[in-house]
A and B are shown apart, each in its own frame.
Chain A
Amino acid sequence: MFDKTVAELSAALKAKKVSSVELTQGFLDRISKYKELNAFISLDPARSLAQAKIADERLARGQAGPLTGIPVAQKDIFCADGWLTTCGSKMLSNFVAPYDATVIERFNAAGAVCLGKTNMDEFAMGSSNETSYYGPVKNPWDTQAVPGGSSGGSAAAVAARLAPAATGTDTGGSIRQPAALTGITGIKPSYGRVSRYGMIAFASSLDQGGPMTRTAEDAALLLSTMCGFDVRDSTSVDQPVPDFTASLNNSVKGLKIGLPKEYFGAGLSADVAKVVEAAIAEYKKLGAEIVEVSLPNSQLAIPCYYVLAPAEASSNLARFDGVRYGHRAPEYKDLSDMYCKTRAQGFGAEVKRRILIGTYVLSAGYYDAYYLQAQRLRRLITDDFNRAFEKCDVIMGPTTPTTAFNLGAKKDDPVAMYLSDIYTISVNLAGLPGMSIPAGFGVDQRPVGLQLIGKYFDEARLLNTAHQYQQATDWHKQAPKGFV
């Protein structure tokens, strides 16, 4: 049962072949069996099973939706009423959320079961899950390897079949990069599609929640539930949300796929390039047209991002001061000492690094040279995409320059670590939807992801394009050895 997709499980639940309680218990058992992956920060079986029981009652009444009774692993960045919500940080290691994020509320309303809270890089700052206060997550394909980050726990859980689906958040690639590195499907919708209310902020102008699943069809199911205008989030967009599953079966014949030459240059490892080229060839076979496009300012994405994201983060994380909740230093002399010790103890090295960078770039005298300049670059990067989309419907390329690297390999080299998001970051800067789907394996037998980038609010086309590929190939059906 645990190898089935959400769509299949949904059918099984409705056909009474399995109950939500059985499913939930089954996945909880697997989580505990494979706990060395360290994919979860907190579990609350009683709470999950109680939700499953209610879902079963709803199923029995015939009032079930497609997600009713489906266990979903939630990234520990989403506040869920009554759940420990740590955001991967010591700072929030004692914080039990007293309210539901909009995303959680929507899953609850759909009758989904919260299976547990998944491990993540501290405050979503990282690309390997190694910055988590709760320790690194292992990649089920090779436990020497990182699962990517920051949504590494969610990615590992879905890849190892510890959950049929999970949520992630993506500020610079945190859904797509771990999806690529663990051989699963993940989509970051357009900025404004998914409410950020209750999703602990890293960089407000870039953060977006999205699903991490095994198939594009499942991603469509979850995304349909997650999206929608929310009055509690001023940046949420009042756009009609289509049923993303409705257009999955459209043909890709005549689809114009843009390949940005900048995504296939130096820095891209040969085996990843080969996999991506094979995937493009597959699309050609399906009738898609290939056009070359250019994103000339791509190389500015990382410097731009590493000014803007830390700037926003330095301010977003100011609320973690030990006054009202979360960690507070046990001993201190005075107010200033309380702040210093609390934040020195509560935050890890990567978070501190970004707070320092962010504080610096916003300081009087540096603001224009860094923050304002980065905003200008952001516009240039966005303009690049707009121009490219005049020539194509979807942009494709690699999600990451390499397959999963080994645990510890880049831990002490932040710039090398930042470069693993080189193809994903610009999508956040532009606010576009982006997706990663499994497309094969590298020479190390670790998964390779194909990235699909769409026009604003064109998630339906991305999911359709991905689904058609998954109908023609079976990379998404591959499972890591030892977990099936």
Chain B
Amino acid sequence: MEWETVIGLEVHVQLLTKSKLFSGAAAQYGAEPNTQACVVDLALPGVLPVMNREAARMATKLGLAIGAVVSPRSVFARKNYFYPDLPKGYQISQYELPVVQKGTLRIEVDGQEKIIGVTRAHLEEDAGKSLHEDFHGLTGIDLNRAGTPLLEIVSEPDMRSSKEAVAYLKKLHSLVTYLEICDGNMQEGSFRCDANVSVRPKGQKEFGTRAEIKNVNSFRFVEKAIEFEVERQIELLEGGGKVVQETRLYDSVKNETRSMRGKEEAHDYRYFPDPDLLPLVIEASFIEETRKTLPELPDAKAERFKQQYKLSAYDAGVLTATRAMADYYEQVVRDSGADPKIAANWVAVELSGLLNSENKDISASPVTAPLMAGLLKRLADNTISGKIAKDVLAAMWAGEGDADAVIAKKGLKQITDNGAIEKAVDEVIANNPKQLEQFRAGKEALFGFFVGTVMKATQGKANPAQVNELLKKKLAP
């Protein structure tokens, strides 16, 4: 039987507010345990939550960016359950009336465009952390994270492959970082994903029973987890079994998903509107004000790059994948005055290759935009050839200084003195009479041999265009 995969994603985006969602405590990552938890976060008797307006502004930004409805009135509810790192015994979240409703996200997989529906995005507070190591037979509680603002973005079950799921996640990741509402750090949990996965016979309308895979913390793991889960469900169904609705955990070491808890153990969260908080009212004027602060978004930027810099759709896509990458590229073009297409190649291919090889973000690149611009200038003014430029880039990456310093230190300056090149050309022709004879007899492929030998003789420094021109002249019978 042919099976179809159905995927819906829930993404928790940690908002970049200075303070927590309902208290004035700082919301930074990595502080000493319990130093960023005030009386409100600790849920002392008598304390009350006060909504952070900045979080509402960030939610509004996302809503606008995905063409969604920003609810004029949304309601905070209490999600009740007991857990030691949940100080109040309930989480304040939005349930029936979320702040953002009905948006869309455009993705592209293998050149195919697809629109994915975003059902809703709602504001909620994070819980603290339980620490099981370091305490023999005891559990430690760190409430620094308790109350940190999250925006949970829920998609429609519109994705049909792990590739589409990853494309959606990458697009969303790019969007929230463009909007500067999230730092996008997946290792630290600022951007985490739960995937709802089911399969159904191709052509069937009804959805199959889904499993929810919790907290997968990298794009690659999302892809692998979904692929494993799809295989598992198909195998189960083809073997005459049934998929049970349950929560599963992805183990990246064993590359498998494992059952965490079944539906019968599902909590009754007893949601009800939080009487300590008024409905969140977002006025039209606030939405308009926020709209004015929106940056150029990835799709619009890619379109502009295609127009303005004459880039291919692919290059434009790569260069606008993150706001930092796009800013880097534009600065390089501006500072170097280089052909934008050549600059695109150096940033999207050469630099990206180095970044990927060391798993570095462009913001952490040792070759900054001004350094890259300096390199491209030397390429444009013929100080170095493209081939040498790659060596210079590698040296710059290794921290050996800017392009000029590397060229000077290593003596990589291109030879453009026609006399010097002519001398080398003459020597190579004189030293290879046999090849000369064959070339003149019609074996034109040997032209490359002469170019190569001249370049070798000049340690690659001769200007390739001049070498070509001189060889053409001198090899002619």
A residues sitting closer than 8 Å to B (CB atoms) are 78-79, 85, 87, 92, 95, 97-99, 101, 196-201, 203-205, 231-235, 311-312, 314-315, 317-321, 323-325, 335, 339, 359, 362-364, 367, 371
Q: A196-B48, A234-B48 are in contact. Are A323 and B80 (CB under 8 A)?
A: no
Given A196-B46, A234-B48, 6 new contacts (CB under 8 A): A79-B46, A197-B48, A315-B80, A318-B80, A319-B43, A335-B139
- 8 A Cβ contacts from B46-89 to A: 46-51, 78, 80, 82, 84, 87-89
- 8 A Cβ contacts from B181-205 to A: none
Which residue of chain B is the closest to A323 with respect to CB atoms? B84
Q: A315-B78, A318-B89 are in contact. Are A371 and B46 (CB under 8 A)?
A: no
B324 on interface, CB distance cutoff 8 Å = no
Among listed B5-13, B210-218, B269-277, interface-contacting one: B269-277
Measured CA separation A350–B381 after assembly (Å):
87
Which residue of chain B is the closest to A199 with respect to CB atoms? B46
Report which of B48, B89, B268, B272 forms a contact with A371, defined as CB distance below 8 A: B272
Would you give the shortest CB distance from B137 to chain A, in whole angstroms?
11
Residue from A95, A235, A312, A323 whose CB has the most chain B CB atoms within 10 Å: A323
**B42 touching A318, Cβ below 8 Å:** no
**A321 touching B89, Cβ below 8 Å:** yes
Q: A200-B46, A315-B272 are in contact. Are A234 and B277 (CB under 8 A)?
A: yes
**A315 touching B46, Cβ below 8 Å:** no
Measured CA separation A322–B278 after assembly (Å):
29
Would you give the shortest CB distance from A316 to chain B, in whole angstroms?
9
Measured CA separation A9–B276 after assembly (Å):
37
Residue from B39, B84, B276 whose CB has the most chain A CB atoms within 10 Å: B276
Would you give the shortest CB distance from B50 to chain A, in whole angstroms?
6
Q: A315-B89, A318-B88, A324-B87 are in contact. Are A201 and B272 (CB under 8 A)?
A: no
**B276 touching A204, Cβ below 8 Å:** yes
| Top 4 A-B residue pairs of the complex, sorted by shortest distance between their CB atoms | A318-B89, A362-B270, A204-B275, A205-B275
**A98 touching B39, Cβ below 8 Å:** yes
B31 on interface, CB distance cutoff 8 Å = no
**A235 touching B276, Cβ below 8 Å:** yes
Q: A339-B82, A364-B268 are in contact. Are A85 and B48 (CB under 8 A)?
A: no
Task: List 11 A–B pairs whose Cβ atoms lie within 8 Å, in order of A's numbering.
Answer: A79-B44, A232-B50, A233-B50, A235-B277, A314-B80, A315-B80, A319-B43, A319-B88, A323-B87, A339-B82, A363-B270
Would you give the shortest CB distance from B76 to chain A, in whole angstroms?
10
**B43 touching A234, Cβ below 8 Å:** no
**A325 touching B44, Cβ below 8 Å:** yes
Measured CA separation A203–B272 after assembly (Å):
13
Would you give the shortest CB distance from B257 to chain A, in whole angstroms?
25
Measured CA separation A2–B84 after assembly (Å):
49
Q: Using Cβ atoms and an 8 Å threshold, which residues of chain A touch B42?
A: 324
Residue from A78, A95, A362 whose CB has the most chain B CB atoms within 10 Å: A362
**A231 touching B50, Cβ below 8 Å:** yes
B residues sitting closer than 8 Å to A (CB atoms) are 39, 42-51, 78, 80, 82, 84, 87-90, 139, 141, 268, 270-272, 275-278
Would you give the shortest CB distance from B417 to chain A, in whole angstroms?
76
**B80 touching A362, Cβ below 8 Å:** yes
Q: Using Cβ atoms and an 8 Å threshold, which residues of chain B touch A87?
A: 45
Report which of B43, B44, B78, B272 forms a contact with A98, defined as CB distance below 8 A: B44
Q: Using Cβ atoms and an 8 Å threshold, which residues of chain B touch A364?
A: 268, 270
Residue from A232, A320, A359 whose CB has the most chain B CB atoms within 10 Å: A232
Would you give the shortest CB distance from A343 to chain B, in whole angstroms?
9
**A324 touching B43, Cβ below 8 Å:** yes
Would you give the shortest CB distance from B296 to chain A, in whole angstroms?
36
Report which of A99, A196, A312, A315 forms a contact with B44, defined as CB distance below 8 A: A99
Interface residues of B, dominant DSSP: loop
Measured CA separation A232–B40 after assembly (Å):
10
Q: A85-B45, A324-B87 are in contact. Are A367 and B39 (CB under 8 A)?
A: no
Would you give the shortest CB distance from A202 to chain B, in whole angstroms?
11
Q: Using Cβ atoms and an 8 Å threshold, which residues of chain A touch B48?
A: 196-197, 232-234
Q: Using Cβ atoms and an 8 Å threshold, which residues of chain A touch B271?
A: 362
Would you give the shortest CB distance from A324 to chain B, in whole angstroms?
6
Q: Using Cβ atoms and an 8 Å threshold, which residues of chain A touch B78?
A: 315
Q: A79-B44, A324-B43, A371-B272 are in contact. Are A234 and B84 (CB under 8 A)?
A: no
Which residue of chain B is the closest to A197 with respect to CB atoms? B48
Q: Using Cβ atoms and an 8 Å threshold, which residues of chain B touch A367?
A: 270, 272
Report which of A205, A234, A318 forms a contact with B51, defined as CB distance below 8 A: A234
Report which of A99, A234, A339 forms a contact with B276, defined as CB distance below 8 A: A234
Would you give the shortest CB distance from A188 to chain B, in whole angstroms?
17
Q: Using Cβ atoms and an 8 Å threshold, which residues of chain A touch B45?
A: 79, 85, 87, 92, 95, 97, 200-201, 319-320
**A335 touching B43, Cβ below 8 Å:** no
Q: Using Cβ atoms and an 8 Å threshold, which residues of chain B touch A320?
A: 45
Q: Using Cβ atoms and an 8 Å threshold, which residues of chain A touch B50?
A: 231-234
Q: Using Cβ atoms and an 8 Å threshold, which residues of chain A touch B82?
A: 318, 321, 339
Measured CA separation A314–B89 after assembly (Å):
10
Measured CA separation A367–B276 after assembly (Å):
19
Q: Using Cβ atoms and an 8 Å threshold, which residues of chain B touch A324?
A: 42-43, 87, 141
**B46 touching A319, Cβ below 8 Å:** no
Which residue of chain B is the closest to A326 with respect to CB atoms? B45
Measured CA separation A339–B84 after assembly (Å):
10
Measured CA separation A343–B117 after assembly (Å):
45
Report which of B39, B44, B89, B278 forms a contact with A234, defined as CB distance below 8 A: B278
Residue from A97, A196, A321 whose CB has the most chain B CB atoms within 10 Å: A321
Q: Using Cβ atoms and an 8 Å threshold, which residues of chain B touch A203?
A: 275
Q: A204-B275, A359-B270, A363-B270 are in contact. Are A197 and B44 (CB under 8 A)?
A: no
Measured CA separation A438–B268 after assembly (Å):
47
Which residue of chain B is the closest to A371 with respect to CB atoms? B272
Measured CA separation A231–B278 after assembly (Å):
13
Which residue of chain A is the closest to B276 with respect to CB atoms? A204
**A335 touching B46, Cβ below 8 Å:** no
Would you give the shortest CB distance from B107 to chain A, in whole angstroms?
35
Would you give the shortest CB distance from A401 to chain B, in whole angstroms?
28
Q: Using Cβ atoms and an 8 Å threshold, which residues of chain A touch B49?
A: 234
Q: Using Cβ atoms and an 8 Å threshold, which residues of chain B touch A101?
A: 46
Would you give the shortest CB distance from B126 to chain A, in whole angstroms?
17
Measured CA separation A311–B77 after assembly (Å):
13
Q: Using Cβ atoms and an 8 Å threshold, which residues of chain A touch B275?
A: 203-205, 235, 312
Would you give the shortest CB distance from A331 to chain B, in whole angstroms?
14
Which residue of chain A is the closest to B81 with respect to CB atoms? A318
Would you give the shortest CB distance from A312 to chain B, in whole angstroms?
6
Would you give the shortest CB distance from A201 to chain B, in whole angstroms?
7
Q: Using Cβ atoms and an 8 Å threshold, which residues of chain A touch B90?
A: 315, 318
Measured CA separation A235–B51 after assembly (Å):
11
Which residue of chain B is the closest to A358 with respect to CB atoms? B270
Q: Using Cβ atoms and an 8 Å threshold, which residues of chain B touch A319?
A: 43, 45, 87-89
Which residue of chain B is the closest to A231 with respect to CB atoms? B50
Would you give the shortest CB distance from A362 to chain B, in whole angstroms?
4
Q: Using Cβ atoms and an 8 Å threshold, which residues of chain A touch B272?
A: 311, 315, 362, 367, 371
Q: A359-B270, A362-B272, A363-B268 are in contact. Are A201 and B277 (CB under 8 A)?
A: no
Would you give the shortest CB distance from B223 to chain A, in whole angstroms?
35
Would you give the shortest CB distance from B279 to chain A, in whole angstroms?
10
Which residue of chain A is the closest to B268 with respect to CB atoms? A364
Measured CA separation A204–B268 after assembly (Å):
22
Report which of A201, A234, A362 forms a contact with B46, defined as CB distance below 8 A: A201
Residue from B47, B48, B49, B278 whose CB has the most chain A CB atoms within 10 Å: B48
Q: A324-B42, A362-B272 are in contact. Are A197 and B47 (CB under 8 A)?
A: yes
Which residue of chain B is the closest to A318 with respect to CB atoms? B89
Report which of B39, B51, B268, B270 forms a contact with A315, defined as CB distance below 8 A: B270
Would you give the shortest CB distance from A87 to chain B, in whole angstroms?
7
Residue from A92, A231, A367 whose CB has the most chain B CB atoms within 10 Å: A367
Measured CA separation A199–B45 after assembly (Å):
8
Q: Using Cβ atoms and an 8 Å threshold, which residues of chain A touch B51?
A: 234
Measured CA separation A73–B145 after assembly (Å):
38
Q: Using Cβ atoms and an 8 Å threshold, which residues of chain B touch A359?
A: 270
